[in-house]
Amino acid sequence: MHITSKSFCPNMDILKPYARKDKLVVIMGATGTGKSRLSVDLATRFSGEIINTDKMQVYRGLDIVSNKITSETKRGVPHHLLSVLPPGADYFTTADFCDRASFLIEAITDRGKLPIVVGGSNSFLEDLVLDGSRYDCCFLWVDVAVPILRGVVSERVDKMVANGMVEEVRELFNFSDSKNYSEGIKNAVGISEFDRFLKNEPFLDAGERQVLFSEVVEEIKKNTFTLACNEREKIQRLRSVNKWCVQRLDTTPVITTRRWKADADAAWKSLVAGPSTSYVSRFLQGHY
């Protein structure tokens, strides 16, 4: 069964339409808000396949630094454009992404599956969606209050460090002497910040190393939070400028109750999973 219908986004009709409009679920949100969890929930519910739009996650390696979804968390759902490029590749352009993503969306739809794009790189997403009014989109925005987001970022970085982030970055320095941190996977937050630590580590005593290490971790937290805020602002701009029909899903209660798993799971079901399932159901039935 082809998943196609007339676009519901009001600004799309002014662009030249394609003969066929594939239905596409788009999940946006800043880092740490629950995009991956929601994408897998919806993919299992609607027989979907997921296309990654995160610029860093298209590269192999640095699974911890780039916060890639784990095999267990995927729950058997096919994921595309994830770890497909060698870590030494210089760049992956927006045009490269759009070409590959367009091919995947068509192939997934031809298999009778629902394509779901998810990730934090909104420049990739914007160009894909605005590509000649090609897709009929259901936009879901997984959001969290900014003060809570700061805490989420801090805890996430601490967890990344505990899981071996430093060792991952160390390995990157083994295969390349390049100091250009603006290209490819080296642009990920955490790489340039650890540069001065790794350069100076051999010359410092234990106390000095710990002080410098703590400074670097705090810098990573600051830069990650800035990135998350920028992602959030970009989504607000996309919604306003492009007049996208975006459904906002507030995960703040989920995050604030996560110490109590039963409460957090109940909040997720009632505030995120349940409403998003209803939105997508109506969208697929043409009643969105």
The CATH code of the domain that includes 177 is 1.10.287.890
Say yes or no: 135 and 189 in one domain. no
Task: Tell me the pLDDT band of 124, cut-offs 50, 70 and 90.
Answer: confident
pLDDT of residue 180: 67
Question: Looking at the domain assignment, is residue 4 inside a domain?
Answer: no
Report d(CA 56, CA 65) in Å as an integer.
9
Residue 15 has pLDDT above 80, yes or no: no
**Residue with token string 């995120």:** 272
Same domain flag for 124 and 259: yes
Same domain for 213 and 129: no
pTM given for the model: 0.86
Place of tokens 């994830």: 82
Residues 122 and 158 in one domain: no
Rounded distance between C-alpha atoms, residue 3 and residue 180, angstroms: 44
Phi, psi (rounded to 5 degrees) for 6: -75, 140
73 belongs to a structural domain: yes
> Does 140 lie in the same domain as 164?
no
The chain-wide mean pLDDT, for the chain, equals: 86
Pick the more confident residue, 173 or 280. 280
Q: Is residue 5 part of a domain?
A: no
The pLDDT of residue 175 is 45
Classify residue 71: in a domain, yes or no.
yes
Give the residue numbers spanning the domain of 67.
Answer: 10-145+235-284
Q: Are residues 119 and 247 in the same domain?
A: yes
Select from 170, 201, 223 the last residue of a domain.
Answer: 223
| Residue 178 falls inside a structural domain | yes
